């Protein structure tokens, strides 16, 4: 099975973005992205969620390689949320991601 690090690279290449532009969109250093692609750096849950949210990538595909790379539907609410998220300073983006993680935990407990 192909490692998740390689799927991150596939996303970047499918979007036709340089490592620098991909990293900037994720508020990360391009050195860290290069490390992911070279399999020096680990891809944690936060990075997975950030890539999926930012680029409308299927989380299932990113984690396992199953299904389509990109989400089939992108509704207007998601587009508005993405635009607002991109306007935030990185410190506030981190806060939003933590809140999303908490909401997902609550949702998963509710079943």
pLDDT tens-place string over residues 71-87 = 876 566 677 777 788 88
Q: Which has the closest alpha carbon to 36: 61, 14, 16, 11?
A: 11
pLDDT given for residue 71 in this prediction:
84
Phi/psi of residue 34, nearest 5 degrees: -60, -40
Residue pLDDT, tens place only, 27-57: 999 999 999 999 999 999 999 999 998 998 9
Q: Residue 72 corresponds to which tokens in the numbers above?
A: 């089939």
For the chain, the helix, strand and coil percentages under 3-state DSSP, each to the nearest 5: 70, 0, 30
pTM above 0.85, yes or no: no
Instruction: Between 105 and 89, name the one with better pLDDT.
Output: 89
- Report the run of H or E that residue 59 belongs to, with start and end: helix 59-64
Q: What are phi and psi of 28, to 5 degrees?
A: -125, 170
What is the C-alpha separation between 10 and 64, in angstroms, rounded? Answer: 13
């Amino acid at each position: 099975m192909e490692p998740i690090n390689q799927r991150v690279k596939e996303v970047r290449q499918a979007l036709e973005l340089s490592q620098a532009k991909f990293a900037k969109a994720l508020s990360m250093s391009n050195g860290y992205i290069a490390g992911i692609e070279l399999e020096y750096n680990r891809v944690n849950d936060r990075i997975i969620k950030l890539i999926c949210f930012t680029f409308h990538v299927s989380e299932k595909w990113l984690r396992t390689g199953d299904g389509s790379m990109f989400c089939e539907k992108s509704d207007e609410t998601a587009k508005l949320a993405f635009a607002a998220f991109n306007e935030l300073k990185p410190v506030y983006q981190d806060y939003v991601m933590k809140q999303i993680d908490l909401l997902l935990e609550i949702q998963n407990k509710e079943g």
